[in-house]
Amino acid sequence: MAINKKISIAIALLLLTALFTFFNWLRLEYLSLFPIGLLFIYLAIFQTEKFFLFIAFLTPLSVNIEEYVDGFGLYLPTEPLLFGFMLWFLFLQLKKPFLDPHIWRHPIIITVLAYLTWMLITSITSSDPIVSFKFLLSKLWFIVPVLIFGTYFFKNHENRVRFLWYFIAACSLVVCYTIVHHSKYGFGEEEGHWVMWPFFKDHTIYGAIIALCLPISLALLKQKGRPALSKAILIIINLVLIIGLIFSYTRAAWLSIICAAFVGALVYFKVSFKLLFCVALIAFGTLYAQWDKIQMVLAKNTHEHTTEAFDEKIQSAANVTTDASNLERINRWDCAYQMFKKKPLLGFGPGTYAFEYAAFQDPENLTIISTNFGDMGNAHSEYLGSLSESGLIGMLLFMSIVAAVFYSSIRLYHRYDKNNDVKILVMGIIVSLASYFIHAFLNNYLDTDKAAIPIWAMCAMVVTMTNNLSASDQSTERG
């Protein structure tokens, strides 16, 4: 029976390959996607877990067709696969529920559901409901399959490791491609802004995802009992990611990974967060009292992000007088704040910032990279983006998700007594998520598959590990 099944699968694959080749030979490229679609449908129905891992591998390799078709943004092949998988998952769950009911009580799930509910409300009141509902739908096809189904898939530690392996391995392939491509231009900074195309739109998201991958890759390297070959491959992957991060020329990514490492150190050494809160209050009080002097110092900072020296590049992050990149970011932030003042409760609607911010640009804030049409992107901040699009409640709900993620993951880390593989992975997740949510003050990428899939997957891992540990504690008490 097993042999017959393998023969049947082999014949089916040969037929699909022949069909794919035949359509390409006839120059019917769109029809050639049909056999690929059939293969994906088969995997989703009969090999659901392998299909989920396949999505993880495809994510860093996906391409936004907006680069080729004006006015229509969709990441291929991941987003159509996620949409189809979402429908299939919902069908299976409604037919025969298999999710652990305890997940609905977890702080991460509760805050995410509250955030989605508020997005639904603000989509109804949106200045452009069609845009907002499309944006909400795209959020759902990231969150439902990855976060909700993930709470089932990631119960097994090996599944967590495999998923992260697939994602990081594919990401390292993209970094290798970028490094080779970049080397043809002598690793110049100007070329470093676009050499990762078509897999990444620009160097900022490229740097952010490398910074997100690096802590996880290091955590996988520290996993005990892994084969020597796996460790050797991970050492190479880590070196590739570090080189990629350096030559990404992304200041926000550099700063975020440094700050994230600091967060990891605070968690590892069990530094009191009450003490940190007091220090933060004193720091903000000092900042407020000395703001005029600080502005004078910042005004004297003339370091540009185009400088060759690494230390000057870091210093250029605080240049708010001549650095066009920083000034444009301030322009976007100011627009988001002005939009919030106009509609403080409900905002303009999810996904509408790019279409609305032009009218809120202050002529004094315009830079050489600003446009009068306001057609070049987002708010450059997850937090301010939520504020402008979903109002104050929307931003507070997003911040509550971030708070729930770190509260749950840090608490989970300290519940493990021994420094085992799970505890090591939790630390990797904490540092990885910290790198993104710190970076999120300066950019926003959660509407892209490259960021959304790994982030929601890691959140699902925290939920399942918490539930697994709680179940283990209960069984121990009963025993």
pLDDT 10s digits, 34-56: 667 777 777 788 889 999 999 99
Q: Name the residue with higher pLDDT: 312 or 226.
A: 226
Cis peptide before 77 (omega within 30 of 0): yes
Mean pLDDT over 410-432 rounds to 92
Which tokens is 370 given?
Answer: 């600003």
Residue 237 Cα distances to 334, 409, 415, 447, angstroms: 39, 25, 30, 26
Residue 3 has pLDDT above 70, yes or no: no
Measured distance CA(111)–CA(394) in Å, rounded? 11
Residue 375 Cα distances to 68, 197, 332, 370, 378, angstroms: 17, 20, 12, 9, 9
Query: Within a domain: residue 162?
Result: yes
Measured distance CA(373)–CA(125) in Å, rounded? 24
Give the residue carrying structure tokens 């794919």: 20
Query: Within a domain: residue 339?
Result: no
Mean pLDDT over 220-246 rounds to 94
> Is residue 203 very low, low, confident or very high in pLDDT (cuts 50, 70, 90)?
very high
CB 344 within 8 A of CB 392: yes
Closest C-alpha among 213, 302, 273 to residue 410: 273
Query: Within a domain: residue 344?
Result: no
For residue range 129-165, list pLDDT tens digits in order.
999 999 999 999 999 999 999 999 999 999 999 999 9
307: left (phi over 0), alpha (psi -120 to 50) or beta: beta
Query: Within a domain: residue 143?
Result: yes
Instruction: Please report the pLDDT score of residue 467 as a whole number.
Output: 94
Query: Within a domain: residue 355?
Result: no
Query: Within a domain: residue 48?
Result: yes
Q: Indicate the range of 207-216, 239-248, 311-320, 424-433 predicted with least confidence.
A: 311-320
Domain that holds residue 162: 30-273+380-471
CA 96 from chain centre, in angstroms, equals 31
Domain count, the chain: 1
CB 80 within 8 A of CB 191: no
Which tokens is 189 given?
Answer: 């900074």
Q: What is the pTM of this model?
A: 0.88
Closest C-alpha among 176, 130, 108 to residue 457: 108
CA 390 from chain centre, in angstroms, equals 20
**Mean pLDDT, rounded, of the chain:** 86
Instruction: Please report the pLDDT score of residue 1 as a whole number.
Output: 46
**DSSP assignment letter at 273:** H
Give the residue carrying structure tokens 């890759």: 217
Torsion sign, CA atoms 60, 421, 228, 246? positive
Measured distance CA(4)–CA(370) in Å, rounded? 63
Query: Within a domain: residue 325?
Result: no
Query: Within a domain: residue 204?
Result: yes
| DSSP bridge pairs for 76 | 63
Residue 317 has pLDDT above 70, yes or no: no
**DSSP assignment letter at 194:** T
DSSP, residue by residue, 309-333: -HHHHHHHTT--SS-HHHHHHHHHH
Residue 233 has pLDDT above 90, yes or no: yes
Which tokens is 71 given?
Answer: 């006015």
Task: Supply the angle between the helices 449-478 and 48-58 in degrees, to the nearest 10.
Answer: 140
Residue 410 has pLDDT above 50, yes or no: yes
